[in-house]
Chains A and B, each alone.
Chain A
Amino acid sequence: MSATKIDDRIVRVDAMEKARGEALYVSDIKFPGMIYGTLVRSSIARGKIISINVPDLPEGYSFITADDIPEEGRNELWMIAKDWRCFASGDVKYVGETIGILCGPDRNMLSYLKERIKVEYEEEVPAVTIDDALSLKGGPIAGEDNIMCSLYCEKGEKMDDVFRKADSIFEETLETGFQEHVHLETNSAIVRLEDGRFTFYISAQCPFYVRKSVAGLLGLRPEDIVVKQTTTGGAFGGKEHFPDVLAGPLLVACNKIRKPIKLVFEREEDMLYSVKRHPSKVLFKTALDKEGNILGIDGKIYYNCGAYLSASYVVLQRGVFHANGVYDIPSTHLVGYGVATNTFPSDAFRGFGAPQTLFAIEMHLSHIARKFGFDPAEYKSRYFLKKGSETVTNGHIVEDVKLPEMFRQIADASDYERKSKEYEIGSGKGIGISFYNHGGAFTGNGEQAIIKAHARLVKTGDRVRIEVGSTEMGQGFQTALRKIAANALEIDISRVDYPNPDTSRVPDSGPTAASRSTMVVGKIVEDCALEMKARWDEGDFSVEKEYVHPDGHPWDQDTFRGDAYLGYGWGACIVEVEVDKLTNEVTTKGIWSSHDVGKAIDELIVHGQVNGGVIQSLGYASMEKMENRNGHFRQSSMSDYVVPTSMDFPKQEWFLVDNPYQWGPQGAKGMGELVFNGADAAYTDAVERALGATICKIPIPPEDIEEAIDNAR
């Protein structure tokens, strides 16, 4: 065994047990005496509950509702906001809101009984879309105006002055739809009593979120509850806060029944009754001079948050901060509104609010470029942010920006310039391009002020155990983190352990979200490892550290001014398509991407993340259509809501640039979300050029292309 170095090619530590079918996911785990639960949900989008009629239940079966929350508890899940109720009571605000949990030993019997629980409602008119909510359809849902949260930021001159100077104004509205995570493992959890403590086995990104969120239901403290993460079969943000919605009812039920209870969503439930990506509507009004140069951009950003705020304010903030993309626009005014509707609450999804505004700005600039006869790539590159450029929050870019180099890589590989000239607009052939970024970790000084992440290393003999609350959900963090530790300790990676987190044993490292794990938690682990290395001969001991934010980068969380992010991941993507003009069938001919992730901790893992993120983004743009009618999602299965298969897109060409981040472990920055943030716009640009259409809305499946062409006429 030799010391593992960061550039060594290593194999994923969890690959073999997963490939052999030996990794245990929640659905594979059984406990003696375990019974099953199933959620009984609202079947209407908005209204009062008149009555809940429960048939006589056989022995061993129970139906648990808000009435079963003990006096010392409160009927709320504490996500970021506390507004999400564990159980609806009195009224319902969206289709699928939990009314109760039916528990018992036999799953067939549970389905039989569930059908016989009848809820009577007095229905009200739901507001489903952003426009419904803004026009107060059915009366306000939240506050007086349905605006649950809002913020703005501005840079440069006042907008009135900018528009007074403009030679022309270009206005358009860009929209994105719901997106469902479709992690292949559905949401699932088990609760039981272990040594008198409520203990969860759960498929979740953030075990510490779960205990904080549900403890109050029984009037307990978070530390009274134990959460053990099980092998997690994909998450993508869908298991950031949403596991709380399973854990809450399970906890209340277990408090009454005192038996292990398992709740595993069927695919249909996971499709219809789980959180989605926020649909968005972005209105851009851009002031231009005679030559087509941008003087300023005024943006209004609306996100459909659904019925509860949960994490939406934070999602919206990220959306606003990314609304000028990778561009240094001289003057800008950006305002974001989180809108309440009677749909299932929207929540975290890879990119966390950034993909929506990045799509909008990319398409908007492409449209302006084409109007003035410029190639979009050439036009956009004039505005690239550079080190020292002012950001939309009046902070500065503190790192080198390598977009020109990244553009060169993919332009050469794809022969972009030639194709861009040769493929005539509307010829059926098109090549499209996008540039994007993703701010790493929590905004501003949030890592230090709010999260206060901890990590610990424990040395026993010649082995070292990593103790963090961060989770492996498929992204390769178990491997990456062990590699960071082994590299710093100068030992072989096989001597480093990293068990799945159990909240009773590991410190809180903050959520596994926001592309922060490698960059922030990885850094703390590296610092712990360096100290452990220096003290190696002291025998068995442990080292624990807290995250320290670099000095000199002010941020004001009340006014949203300052350095929102210290390090960004950067990306550029080119997609080439051919569109059959008779059938509107789109064939993707090539995909090229380049990403700046600082330094790749493990190239094979980054390769997999790039491939997966890009395909998810292409699915978002091209086929993943989730419609909502009257508050009901219409796509309920994997045959209605289609995600990419191995046949839909060709093999990708991908590149990295080296740009070590001074505060990351070995120079690494976040990457998990970045790789989602731009292929959608490159694809849409390519389809637009092939068709000679203007597309302002995704997804754009073949059946919707005709409409886009008509609109362009």
Chain B
Amino acid sequence: MDAASPLLDLTPRSLAWSARATSVADIERALARIWAAAPDAAVGPDGERHVVARTSVLNFVAVAGSEEVATRVLAAVGSLTSRHPSRTIVVEPRDAEGPRRIEAEVTATCALARGAGAAVCTETIRLRAGGDAGRHLASILPPLLVHDLPVTLWWPEDVPFHRPDFVALLMHAIQADRLVVDGSTWRGDGLAGLRGLVGAQAASGIAISDFALMRQSRWRDAIASAFDLPDLLPYLGSIRGVTVEYTASRADPAGTNVVRPLYHAAWIGSRLGWSATEPLRVEPDGRRRATLRRPRGHVELSLVPVASDLPGGATTRVRIAATRRRSRLDVEVTARPEAVVVRARLDDGEPSVRLHHAARRTDADLLAEAVESGGRDPLTTAAIRLAGALAERGAEAGT
């Protein structure tokens, strides 16, 4: 046990105390010690007294597969200016075969407000769990959470949905309210992850934020805008085909993660009451196809890989075709740097074109949004559910 006494580290606008610990009980003691030693008021560089206040908003737990991911997670959490998790716990299971050990670094950081406002304090626990301890996070985390505050769990990379210890952790031990994932990082085509996600959601009722789906908000806005025009709105009821093109690595097109392209179609379908009749199957040309049922007819869905040197799995184009009373509507949405372009064309008429501003959003932006959205979002729930149904394994025989 490291008994380093709380140390004062004065940077211009924040104060921090930190300590090390080597067991769960030790971490709890370290926190208690820090708070006991922290003064009721801190004096800032401007000589002003700030009452020291701990926030009570949220527990934030992130599980990082590597040192590098842990650093990324901490950076994103640190830049969450819009909402501070009260307690952040970043766990790194490491060296699974090695000896069992727990090493933690506990830090309390107080940001000084301008003027005489309170100094706002949050706590960060960076915890390395070595050996089999890394497989028993469910026994480590619960005592470290602040009582009665919601728990958000961020799993930035491939999520082990199938592992029993994941289920134990997520559903029972920490009773997380929200699971934050990024479907575009899941291994292979990502569809197994998607099935796992839908399973977890169904079993636990947990709220989900998926960065892959969140990043598409401007696309959704752009696609919806095409149908704001009263003349085009009725075509929503007679869509026949949705085609999504995405970047794929030349070497292994079938191994490219297709979660993002699939989400576009799943969102449209879930809004329009479609259901999956035939899940995705891979065609010899590398495309994936599926069939959906809409209220009066069918919709053909294709996901088309386009060989590219860009990172795989990014949507480059969404096409929607609808026919109605012998008229045909084509809506095409394409990505450009910083913008999304919508082109809607009725028969041979002039296409109407509209640009949508689409700012890049960093991990920190998305994380802030995920943490800020309370409760289950019906759009996400429905889109993920339909995506999961389309990702079912049943018809993969076509390969």
A and B: partners?
A: no
